[in-house]
Amino acid sequence: MAAKERGAGEKYLLMVLVLVGFLWLRSSWGKIAGGTFVSGLAKTLTNFASKNPYPWFKDFLETVAIPNSQTFGLLVLVGEMTAAMLIFVMSLYLLAGQKTSKLGAFLLPAGLLIAAALNLTFWLASGWMSASGDSLNLLMLGVETVGLVWATKGLLQNR
């Protein structure tokens, strides 16, 4: 069965999602290659919590995330790499005009959902610290949300 011809808007969205996947790939690889992300996360989270403007999130950082920073660090590494691979590979695959199976159609929305959750968490934790951190996390969250709506629509229509 031939793949559905994608319109220009869908192709442009997929190109942007390839870039988003690449950003996640760079981020996760940098944390893995650096080798100190997990061991240094408690200090980073303490900094994020110091003047965090969201009392409920500051409480979450101080009572849950910081005491369990090793586990959270591993979850972030796995989450980033998973989101990166799912978004990057599936976006390239769809951009190439390939039709996906039901499982394949589930993979892109799964990656986008993971990425959106990570960006929202990063924004709540550190968006207050700089305009660039605030803007980049919100921009990525917006793109991921648009991609998630589009990909979920396709999943529901058995694309």
Residues 93-116: pLDDT tens digits?
A: 998 887 777 777 899 999 999 999
Tokens of 92: 């390239």
Tokens 């990166």 belong to residue: 84
At residue 86, does pLDDT exceed 50? yes
Residue 153 CB burial class (10 angstroms; 0-12, 13-18, ≥19): exposed
Which residues are CB-contacts of 131 (< 8 A; sequence separation ≥ 6)?
Answer: none
Give me the mean pLDDT over the 88-93 stretch: 94
Eight-state DSSP code of residue 35: S
At residue 12, does pLDDT exceed 90? yes
Angle at the Cα of 43 from the Cα atoms of 41 and 47, rounded to 5 degrees: 110
At residue 8, does pLDDT exceed 80? yes
- Res 139: pLDDT: 96
Residue 98 C-beta-side C-alpha neighbours within 13 Å: 12
Give me the mean pLDDT over the 15-32 stretch: 96
Give me the mean pLDDT over the 50-77 stretch: 97
Give me the mean pLDDT over the 24-40 stretch: 95
| pTM of the predicted protein model | 0.90
- Res 3: pLDDT: 53
- Res 6: pLDDT: 74
Contact 28, 84 (CB under 8 A): yes
d(CA 78, CA 32): 10
- pLDDT confidence bin for 158, thresholds 50/70/90: low
At residue 2, does pLDDT exceed 60? no
